[in-house]
């Protein structure tokens, strides 16, 4: 078990992203083991890599923010804070999907399985978040196959 200290100024945002990913993920995958199934389906449909599908969703959030700014008015539905939180979730998912791909494509180089065997305890004020980790994954700027 590894411990990751989160600076106080980042803790609320990270806590909200982890909470949102946990809550919303239940609606998008067929099971807990298939956390990437929605992105795999989108990838098969579009021909994009799974992490690029998550990037695409993040771009949609950016386009929404740009449209609101151009119109010069506030949102009628989802508030701006929710849009930023969702955008953050898609960025984290894109990175997780890329790491997942690298572990599947290069298990020896990545130092282990893609099964999420590692666990991290993320600490900060005021509570502890238990989150699945990616220990032993390569620090990579992109796919390696």
What is the helix (H) or strand (E) element at residue 119, kind and residue range? strand 119-123
The total domain count for the chain is 1
77 within a domain of the structure (yes/no): yes
Compute the mean pLDDT over every residue in the chain, rounded to the nearest whole number: 78
Cα separation, 111 vs 45, whole angstroms? 31
pTM, two decimal places:
0.71
**Residue 35: which domain range?**
12-108
Angle at 34 between CA 16 and CA 18, to 5 degrees: 10
Structure-block tokens of residue 66: 């740009």
Give the pLDDT mean for 53-71: 95
120 within a domain of the structure (yes/no): no
52 within a domain of the structure (yes/no): yes
Give the pLDDT mean for 98-108: 82
Cα separation, 83 vs 89, whole angstroms? 10
124 within a domain of the structure (yes/no): no
Give the pLDDT mean for 109-129: 47
70 within a domain of the structure (yes/no): yes
């Amino acid at each position: 078990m590894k411990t990751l200290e989160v600076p106080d100024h980042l803790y609320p945002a990270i806590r909200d992203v982890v909470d949102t990913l946990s809550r919303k993920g239940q609606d998008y995958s067929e099971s807990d083991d298939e956390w990437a199934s929605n992105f795999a389906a989108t990838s098969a449909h579009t021909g994009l890599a799974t992490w690029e599908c998550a990037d695409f969703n993040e771009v949609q959030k950016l386009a929404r923010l740009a449209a609101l700014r151009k119109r010069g008015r506030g949102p009628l539905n989802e508030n701006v804070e929710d849009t930023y939180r969702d955008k953050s979730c898609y960025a984290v998912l894109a990175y997780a999907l890329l790491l997942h791909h690298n572990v599947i494509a290069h298990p020896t180089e990545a130092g282990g399985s893609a099964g999420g065997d590692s666990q991290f305890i993320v600490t900060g004020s005021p509570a502890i978040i238990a989150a699945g980790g990616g220990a032993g994954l390569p620090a990579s700027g992109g796919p390696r196959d």
